[in-house]
Amino acid sequence: MKILYLTTVLPSKRTTGGEIASQAFIDALQHNGHEVLVLGYQRQSSIFKPKNNEISIAPRHIETEKSRLYPMLWMSLGILKNLPYSSAKYYSQKYINQLKSILKKEKFDILIIDHAQMAWLAPFINNKAKIIFIAHNVEHEIYLTQLKNSQSQISQHIYQRETYLIKDMEENLARTATQVWTFTDYDASYFRDINKTTKTFHLPSSLKISPHQPTIKNFDIGIIGCWTWKANKLGLNWFLEKVYPHLPTNLSIQIAGLGAEWLRGKYPNVNYCGFVPSVQTFMAQAKVLAIPSISGGGVQIKTLDAIASGSPLVATPTALRGISEYPSSVRVAEKPEEFANSLVQLLALNTIPDICTEAIAWSENRQSTFLADITYAINHL
C-alpha cells in the first residue's frame, strides 16, 4: 500500500521520544512492505539531508525555549486561527500547499496524521481517504495537569485555553479517522469511547538489541534524558533533591543528555557528560540505570531502551506508564528513600548476565509483537 505520513518533525534523526515513536511506526510499515512518504519540518538548528522517503516542508524552530521571539508569533497565530499554541507552532501555508500538491499528483491508500497537534490538516484531505490518527498521548490531559499546577493567572489562562482547544481537535480527529492508534491501554480506553476502531500498539525499544552487550561497567548509576523538556527536568530535580541524599557518597553517578549544563561541579560524585553519541553504549556501561520520571504521558521510550540495554534499572511508576509487564531487571520505586535503596540493592547483585538475557528476550518479543500488530491493523482497515 502507498501511505502518506503527516507529522510535525521529520523523525528519522530520532532526536526526541516522540520522533523515536514516529520512526518506529514508519520502519514497521516499511518492514511490512508498504511504501511510506513522510512529510514534516526540519529543526532550524540541525539541518540534515532528508531520506529518500522524506519531504522537508521547511526548516523550523521547534522547542519553545530555543525559539527566541517565535513563541509570540505562534501565540498570535493561534489566536487568529483559533488553534492551540502547540498546533500553531506547526501551522503553515507551506505545509498546506505541499500536501495539496502531493495529493493532486499521487493517490495514497492510507493517510496517517501523527500527533493531535496536526489535526488541522484533516480538512485538506479527501473525505474518502482512509485516515489513521496516531495519538501519542491523550494530549489535553497533559495540559490539564499543567493547568492544575499553574501558579499565576496568566499561565492558568494559557493552559486552560490549550486544554480546551487541543481536546476539541483530538476528539474531532478521532471521530474522523478510520482507525486511532495509541501507545497505552489507558489512552485506548479514552479514544475507544469516540472511535470503536481504536487500537493499542506496544512500542518497542529503539535500540538494536544484541545479546553481546559490553561487559565493562564504567560507573555505578546512569541517568539519561533530554533535560530541555520540562517533564524530564522535573524528574532529574526530584532525583537530585529527594533521592540523592539517601545514596552512599562513594557511588559514581553519570548523567547524560543535553540541557543540564548547570549540573557541572555541583555534586562531588556526579559527572555530567552532556550529549553522548551512543545511548546504547552509555546504558550498557552503567551498573544500574535510574529513570526518575514524575510527570508526562504515554509510553516512555527511554524506559524501553533501558530494558533493552540489559542493565538493571530502577524506575518510578510514572516511568513505567503503559508497560504492564516487565522483566526482573526492573525495580519499581515511588518514594525517594525506596528508590535509593533499590539502586543500592541492585548494585549488590551478582546475577547481571541472567538479568541481561531475560531483558533482551523481553525486548525482542515486544518488537515482534509490534510488527505483527501493525500488520493486523492495516489488514483490517
pLDDT digits (tens, 9 = 90+) for 10-39: 999 888 888 999 999 999 999 999 999 999
Q: What are phi and psi of 292, to 5 degrees?
A: -95, 50
With contact defined as beta carbons under 8 Å apart, do 355 and 312 qualify?
A: yes
With contact defined as beta carbons under 8 Å apart, do 311 and 366 qualify?
A: no
The predicted structure's pLDDT at residue 352: 61
Share of the chain above pLDDT 70, in %: 96
Does 209 score more than 80 pLDDT?
no
With contact defined as beta carbons under 8 Å apart, do 90 and 8 qualify?
A: yes
Does 65 score more than 80 pLDDT?
no
Cell output for 350: 551478582
Would you tell me how many other CB atoms lie within 10 Å of the CB of residue 243? 24
Residues 83-122 pLDDT 10s: 999 999 999 999 999 999 999 999 999 999 999 999 999 9
Q: b/e map of 339-366 (b: 16 or more CB within 10 Å)?
A: bbbbbbebbeeeebeebbebbbebbeeb
Does 49 score more than 80 pLDDT?
yes
Average pLDDT, the chain: 91
The predicted structure's pLDDT at residue 295: 83
pLDDT average, residue stretch 136-157: 89
pLDDT average, residue stretch 283-289: 93
With contact defined as beta carbons under 8 Å apart, do 331 and 216 qualify?
A: no
The predicted structure's pLDDT at residue 215: 62
CA distance 311 to 215: 10
Residues 6+ apart with CB under 8 A from 127: none
Q: Do domains 2-201 and 219-365 have the same CATH topology?
A: yes
Domain ranges of the chain: 2-201, 219-365
Give the largest CA-CA distance in the chain.
Answer: 64
Q: Which CATH architecture has domain 219-365?
A: 3-Layer(aba) Sandwich (3.40)
The predicted structure's pLDDT at residue 211: 57
With contact defined as beta carbons under 8 Å apart, do 119 and 170 qualify?
A: yes
Residues 305-325 pLDDT 10s: 999 988 999 999 999 988 988
Place of cell 521529520: 10
Q: Does domain 2-201 have CATH number 3.90.870.10?
A: no
Residues 183-200 pLDDT 10s: 999 999 999 999 999 999
The predicted structure's pLDDT at residue 257: 92
Name the more confident of 100 and 352. Answer: 100
**What is the SS3 string spanning the chain?**
CEEEEEEEECHHHCCCHHHHHHHHHHHHHHHCCCEEEEEEEEECCCCCCCCCCEEEEEEECCCHHHCCCHHHHHHHHHHHHCCCHHHHCCCCHHHHHHHHHHHHHCCCCEEEEECHHHHHHHHHCCCCCEEEEEECCCHHHHHHHHHHHCCCHHHHHHHHHHHHHHHHHHHHHHHHCCEEEECCHHHHHHHHCCCCCEEECCCCCCCCCCCCCCCCCCEEEEEECCCCCHHHHHHHHHHHHHHHHHCCCCCCEEEECCCCHHHCCCCCCEEEEECCCCHHHHHHHEEEEEECCCCCCCCCHHHHHHHHHCCCEEECCHHHCCCCCCCCCEEECCCHHHHHHHHHHHHCCCCHHHHHHHHHHHHHHHHHHHHHHHHHHHHCC
Global pTM value: 0.86
